[in-house]
Structure 1
Amino acid sequence: MVRAGGTRSRGERSAATRELILTTAERLFAEHGLFAVSNRQISEAAGQGNNTAVGYHFGTKADLLRAIVRRHSERIEQLRTAMVGQVRDSTDVRAWATCLVHPATDHLAELGPPTWFARFSAQMTADPASRSIMYEETFRSPSLIEAIRGFDRCLPGMPARVRAERGDMARLLMVHMCAERELALAEGGAAGRDGWAMTAAGLVDALVGLWTAPITGPDGGIRDPRTTTKEEPA
């Protein structure tokens, strides 16, 4: 509530300060890495005279990282929930891959450049301790869990070791390609002209190809995983 004379209440000022700190921290972490940025630097860049402002509003660095993730997760959850509702009975790998990729890219497109969340996410996943925070927050999403289960139901049969390996590849592909495109958009170069829609389309194509690609066995033989739907042992 804005009081007479245009002044804001203490609660409004605190909320505005929190939002400014979150934006500043997300940008600095994205551009410089998690360990290269201190709370003091965030406070100074956010224009806070008190260098303990970050700790006062957020507590520990882990709490700050969680707050940044949660800042984006609500909208991504809304977008994914709508997509999952449209394909819930589908047995098409591409339909479920779309549910895994598009919510995040559509959210970034809505924000408009410059954004930092894709690069921030890449920094989070590069560090084991921070990665656990990112995964804990990410898998709080009911729609994501449903999308993963729907995607898994459509996959061809493959050894467990191949499934795990391709899962790691898929996560790296999504995280780091989004980070690269975000950087290109921020810098305004030719690589960023296609925008998020084409990035998402390319990622969906790549995921479908990755998960349905031929498998090389221990004996060097190659088989098409689409020829069977029965999962094989490692």
Structure 2
Amino acid sequence: MVNRTQPRSGRGNDTRELIMTVAERLYAEHGLSNVSNRQIGEAAGQGNNTAVSYHFGSRTTLVRAIMTRHGMLVDAIRQRYVEAAGDSTDLRDWVRCLVRPVPEYLATLGVPSWQARFAVQVMTDPLMRALVTDESLARDSLRHTLHRLGQCLHTVPPETRRERGEMARHLITHTCAERERSLAEGSAEPGASWDRTANALEDALVGLLTAPTTHRPAAAGPRPVTLQEKETA
């Protein structure tokens, strides 16, 4: 029996990387709940049908490992943007820190890639979304970016900021997934690139976050009864 407390061999690490790569593609294509560990192991060329369980234990651990692998690399890019922004009070600078690291990283993966479409599957699973979100918010560069965005938007009501934050997350995740899909299928429009996607997302989010807020009147209560109505009642 292998002692899992010992450092993994180079071969073991290679197997883990292969399993993560194959799992990411299958999850992106079919969804998290429609892919079994056995299918992943077979697609990864593992003769032992318990290979995925041996290396990762559970699907949750496997998904987190894939997201962490990408997240750390995105975080390194975001840190560069945060350092460039410095003490800026310009909203666009902090939107840039939030948005651009993702498509910039995806551009390094080549074509086809699966990470953006995999991320959509993860973010539509309530349990996985909560786990990944908590882990992402533990990264200093993202936490600092969100803090500075909040300072820039201090005049926007907190509830509105939360709503628009959710919209921003969906916009980034799904736009990148659609761009990845179109590049993989060869159906992208002429001139399409990850840099163009980043520019479009930056402009869209600046507009979203600074859009005017609709002021709805408070719900009207019962109309007061006039003195005349009381006398004639």
Q: Which 5+ residue runs of structure 1 have no aligned equivalent?
A: 1-9, 221-234
* Identity value in percent: 51
- Contact kept, 8 Å, 2:179 with 2:188, in 1: the verdict is no
Q: 1:184 to 1:62 in 2, by over 3 A?
A: same
SS of the counterpart of 1:66?
helix
Instruction: Provide runs of 4+ in structure 1 moved above 4 Å.
Output: none
Partner Cα distance (1:116, 1:12) in 2: 25
- Contact kept, 8 Å, 2:37 with 2:53, in 1: the verdict is yes
Deviates more, 1:28-37 or 1:161-170: 161-170
- Contact kept, 8 Å, 2:117 with 2:180, in 1: the verdict is yes
- Contact kept, 8 Å, 1:30 with 1:119, in 2: the verdict is yes
Equivalent position of 2:130 in the other structure:
132
- Contact kept, 8 Å, 1:184 with 1:192, in 2: the verdict is no
The within-5 A match list for 1:1-234 is 11-155=9-153, 157-191=155-189, 193-219=191-217
How many residues of Structure 1 are paired with residues of Structure 2 in the alignment? Answer: 211
Letter in 2 for 1:140: A
Q: How far apart are 1:160 and its partner, in Å? A: 2.1
Partner Cα distance (1:159, 1:107) in 2: 33
Q: How far apart are 1:107 and its partner, in Å? A: 0.8
Q: 1:17 to 1:189 in 2, by over 3 A?
A: same
What TM-score, normalized by structure 1, do the two folds share? 0.86
- Is the radius of gyration larger for structure 1 or structure 2? 2
What TM-score, normalized by structure 2, do the two folds share? 0.87
- Contact kept, 8 Å, 2:122 with 2:129, in 1: the verdict is yes
Deviations 1:18-76 (A, max 9, x none): 11100000011111100000000000111111111000001111110110011112211
Q: How far apart are 1:192 and its partner, in Å? A: 7.5
Q: 1:34 to 1:159 in 2, by over 3 A?
A: same
Deviations 1:116-144 (A, max 9, x none): 11111111110111111210221121100
